[in-house]
Amino acid sequence: MKNVVEVKKLTKEYKELKAVNDLSFEVKEGEILGLLGPNGSGKSTTINCILSLLNFSEGSIKIFGQEMEPDAYKLKEKIGVVFQDVAVFEELTVIENIDYFCGLYIQDKGLRKRYVEDAIQLVGLEEFKKFYPKQLSGGLLRRLNIACGVAHKPKLIILDEPTVAVDPQSRNNILDGIKTLRDQGTTIIYTTHYMEEVEILCDRVIILDRGQIIASGTIDELKKLAKLEEKVTVEVMELDSKYIKEIGEFKNVEDVTYHEGILLITYKKGKNNLVELMDYLKNAKIQYNKIFSERPTLNDVFLELTGKELRD
C-alpha cells in the first residue's frame, strides 16, 4: 500500500518546550490510524503540523507524495478535517451547511448535490435536512459536523474526537459511517480517548507521550506489550482480609483489590490462573455469585505505558 501521509523527524518547539520531538511515522492508503496519547502528548500539535496550520522547527511532511505547505490548496482539496469543536453556521439549515462546505471544493452544482445527499445518508440526517443547528441534539450536531467535513469526498480524513459527549445511538451511527468511509478506500487519522472505539475501528495505532512515539502497531501487537496476562473479577458479598492477603500471595498474582463486593485480581504471565483461584475459593468455602476472566484491553496497555497520574 502507498503512503498517504509521511512524517519524518518532525519537531515543533515552543520556547524551551518540545511539543513534538523527532517524530516519524506514515499512514497507509485505505487504513484507519489511531493517534492516541494523554493530554499534552502532542496529538493536536502533530495534526496541526500535518495540516500546515503550524510552522514546525525541523522535519518534513508529505501528503500524497507532495510536500505539505500552507498554500498547497490543490492538496488540501483531498483532505477532510473534523475537529472536536463543532463548526457550523447557525443561520443555515442542515442541508445548507453541508452544501456550503462541500461548495468550497466542488463547483459543479449537479455533482455537489449528489455529494451532499451522500453525506446526509452517511450520517443519517435524512429527516433533519431543514432543521437549524440550534434545533439539533448534541449527537445530531456532531453528525452534521462530520457531514460538513467529508461531503466533498476527500481521500484523507482527520477525525479529532468525533464522538465526544454523544449518546450511544449517535456514537454507533458515527462509527458505522467511519467504517463505510474506510470500506470506500478513504484513509483516516483518528484521535480519541475512547479506547473501545480504537479497538473497533483502527487497523494500526500510534501512542504518543511527551511528543514522542512510545508504542505503535496493531491492536494485538500492542496488547502483547502489557505486563498483565489476565484480569479475573469475582462478585463476592463478604470477604475477610486474610483471604485477600492469601490470594495476593499466589505465584502469578500482580495485584488484588476488593471494593463493594467486587474482587479484582490481575495476573502476570502464567497458566491456569482461573483454575487455581476457583479451587482456592472452593476449599476456603467462599461463596461467590459470578466469576469471569478477561485479557488485557487496549486501555490497560495505554495506562501501563503512559501512567495513571492525571494530566492537565
pLDDT digits (tens, 9 = 90+) for 53-93: 999 989 999 999 999 999 999 999 999 999 999 999 999 99
| Mean pLDDT within 215-238 | 91
**Mean pLDDT taken over the chain:** 94
Q: Residue 168, Cβ neighbours under 10 Å: how many?
A: 9
User: Residue 14: enclosing H or E segment and its boundaries?
Assistant: strand 3-14
CATH architecture of 3-223: 3-Layer(aba) Sandwich (3.40)
- Residues carrying CATH 3.30.70.980, the chain: 230-295
User: What pTM was computed for the model?
Assistant: 0.89
Q: Whose CA is closest to 193, among 295, 79, 43? A: 43
- Residues carrying CATH 3.40.50.300, the chain: 3-223
Q: How far apart are CA 96 and CA 82, in angstroms?
A: 18
User: Residue 60: enclosing H or E segment and its boundaries?
Assistant: strand 58-63
Over residues 166-208, the pLDDT tens digits come to 999 999 999 999 999 999 999 999 999 999 999 999 999 999 9
| Residue 135 DSSP class | G
Task: Determine the CATH number of domain 230-295.
Answer: 3.30.70.980
Q: Output the nine-digit C-alpha cell for 256.
A: 488484588
Q: Residue 61, Cβ neighbours under 10 Å: how many?
A: 19
Q: How far apart are CA 176 and CA 165, in angstroms?
A: 17
Q: What share of the chain in percent tops pLDDT 70?
A: 99
Phi, psi of 146, deg, nearest 5: -65, -45
- 3-class secondary structure, 129: coil
Q: How far apart are CA 176 and CA 129, in angstroms?
A: 20
Q: Beta strand 187-191 with 156-160: parallel, antiparallel or unpaired?
A: parallel
Inter-residue contact 162 to 35 (CB < 8 Å): no
State the pLDDT at residue 312.
65
